[in-house]
Amino acid sequence: MRVGHGYDLHRLEPRPPAGNGKSFVLGGIQIEHSTGPVAHSDGDVLLHAVTDAILGALGLPDIGQLFPDTDPKNESADSAIFLREAVDRMRKAGWEIGNIDCTIICEKPKIGPRRADIVANIARLIGCAADSINVKGKTHEKVDAVGEGRAIEVHVCALLKPR
Ligand code: MG
């Protein structure tokens, strides 16, 4: 078996013209919120961390190396494309998902009400069972940038098993 860790953080800002925040999308699910991620792609911090956990388990270059933010092709890209590429590489290398455990850290919005949608969508994108995916939400206890609502961060562990 192989294990990988993924981490990502994005700044959160109001939508233009007040800031540069994009729509708030998490695990491919749109969530109504007053701020959104500042990003070159669609800013889906959860899919970025899941992608990096899988790539990390495979010992491959990370998402920033495979999909540089200097490449205009990745401008506002749907992050599902990044995840699908990682999953493709995983299958070609002879591995499949054992399980994936995700921790989302932000003050707002609350993750709980959308958790089931997020889990189902990640499982759909990967092509694995929903009970192989776990998603938890935590706050940052109002301290530092994450706790002040100026950023969102995600940690992910992915276990791969031979196909
Ligand atoms: Mg990112």
85 CA distance to ligand 1 centroid (A)? 15
d(CA 5, CA 35): 27
104 DSSP β-pair partners: 137, 154
Q: Which two tokens stand for residue 142?
A: 């109002």
Question: Is 18 strand, coil or helix?
Answer: coil
d(CA 103, CA 46): 9
163 CA distance to ligand 1 centroid (A)? 28
Predicted TM-score (pTM) of the model is 0.97
84 CA distance to ligand 1 centroid (A)? 15
Query: What confidence tens digit (pLDDT) does each residue in 36-63 have?
Result: 999 999 999 999 999 999 999 999 999 9
82 CA distance to ligand 1 centroid (A)? 11
Specify whether the CB–CB gap between 74 and 67 falls below 8 A.
yes
113 CA distance to ligand 1 centroid (A)? 23
122 CA distance to ligand 1 centroid (A)? 16
Specify whether the CB–CB gap between 106 and 139 falls below 8 A.
yes
d(CA 130, CA 151): 28
Backbone torsions φ then ψ of 4, nearest 5 degrees: -135, 150
Query: What confidence tens digit (pLDDT) does each residue in 72-112 have?
Result: 888 889 999 999 999 999 999 999 999 999 999 999 999 99
Cis peptide before 109 (omega within 30 of 0): yes
